[in-house]
């Protein structure tokens, strides 16, 4: 069966020392009870945070990776570098990367393949902006992002990918998708995957919800049959909020 996952995306927050302290607290509180917990830290935190992880259910991830393997790409961080820190996951295609850094589907497809080749698990993000939802285009937008980003992967490779649905209008706004909106989209994503890769692969694909997820709404969101966990921004910066969400399962 598919995995239950709660991943914290710290974004550009926390000094190295603050990040290590947060990771220590989370590590202390994580129970090895079947929920996979992932800390997606800034690049420079990865190695140090890896050193504080002792729990079997706690994993490390990056928030982005380069679309090239190595060489003269000043400021970039490769998948092999990420892997060498002890990371096992990498977020790809977060809406902030898509909008602020103009990462397009082709580039995200390339990053996904590089991550898989390096032995990292991609957490592939998709989601519509408010105008797209208001125009009733949200299903089509997400379908296109997933098809262009992932659907030339082999079934073996696709089976390793985690998908995160993050409606852009819900990110950092305090306005989460309703439980019904999340379920509707997650179900549509799973059906799309089933059409392409078959029911077995679709049923084993973890689809996370992200966007103003907090301890007070996590239980209701995670209770949906097609919501397999969360990708958490703001609430992952505080151990008690983050663990409140992890314990919502």
Please report how close the Cβ of residue 23 comes to ligand 13P at its closest, in angstroms: 17
Q: What's the token pair of residue 41?
A: 């830290």
CB 149 within 8 A of CB 105: yes
Q: Provide the binding-site residues for ligand 13P, judged by CB under 6 A.
A: 9, 94, 166, 171-172, 210-213, 231-235
Write down the catalytic residue from 45, 94, 138, 186.
94
Annotation marks residue 45 as catalytic? no
CB of 62 to ligand 13P, least distance (A): 13
- Report the residue number, 52 or 235, with the smaller CB distance to ligand 13P: 235
Q: Provide the minimum distance between the beta carbon of 100 and ligand 13P in the complex, in angstroms, as a whole number.
A: 12
Return the number of the residue (67 or 212) whose C-beta is nearest ligand 13P.
212
Give the distance, in angstroms, between the CA of residue 90 and the centroid of all CA atoms in the same chain.
8
Sign of CA dihedral 109, 115, 118, 120: negative
Q: Are strands 4-9 and 229-232 parallel, antiparallel or unpaired?
A: parallel
**159 CB-side CA count, 13 A:** 11
- Is there a catalytic annotation at residue 94? yes
Active-site pick, 96, 132, 166, 186: 166
Tokens of 9: 């995306």
| Active centre residues (catalytic) | 94, 166
């Amino acid at each position: 069966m598919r995995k239950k996952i709660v991943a914290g995306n710290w974004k550009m927050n926390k000094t190295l020392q603050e990040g290590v302290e947060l990771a220590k607290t989370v590590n202390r509180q994580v129970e090895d009870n079947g929920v996979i917990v992932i800390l997606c830290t800034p690049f420079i935190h990865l190695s140090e945070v890896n050193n504080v992880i002792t729990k079997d259910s706690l994993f490390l991830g990056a928030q982005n990776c380069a679309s090239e393997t190595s060489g003269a790409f000043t400021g970039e961080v490769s998948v092999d570098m990420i892997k060498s820190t002890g990371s096992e996951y990498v977020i790809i295609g977060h809406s902030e990367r898509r909008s602020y850094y103009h990462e397009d589907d082709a580039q995200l497809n390339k990053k996904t393949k590089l991550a898989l080749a390096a032995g990292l698990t991609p957490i592939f993000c998709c989601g519509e902006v408010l105008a797209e939802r208001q125009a009733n285009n949200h299903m089509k937008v997400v379908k296109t992002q997933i098809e262009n980003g992932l659907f030339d992967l082999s079934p073996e490779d696709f089976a390793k990918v985690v998908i995160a649905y993050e409606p852009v209008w819900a990110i950092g706004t305090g306005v989460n998708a309703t439980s019904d909106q999340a379920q509707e989209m997650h179900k549509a994503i799973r059906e799309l995957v089933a059409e392409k890769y078959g029911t077995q692969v679709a049923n084993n694909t973890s689809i996370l919800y992200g966007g103003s997820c907090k301890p007070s709404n996590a239980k209701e969101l995670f209770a949906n049959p097609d919501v397999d966990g969360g990708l958490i921004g703001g609430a992952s910066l505080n151990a008690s909020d983050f663990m409140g969400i992890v314990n919502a399962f």
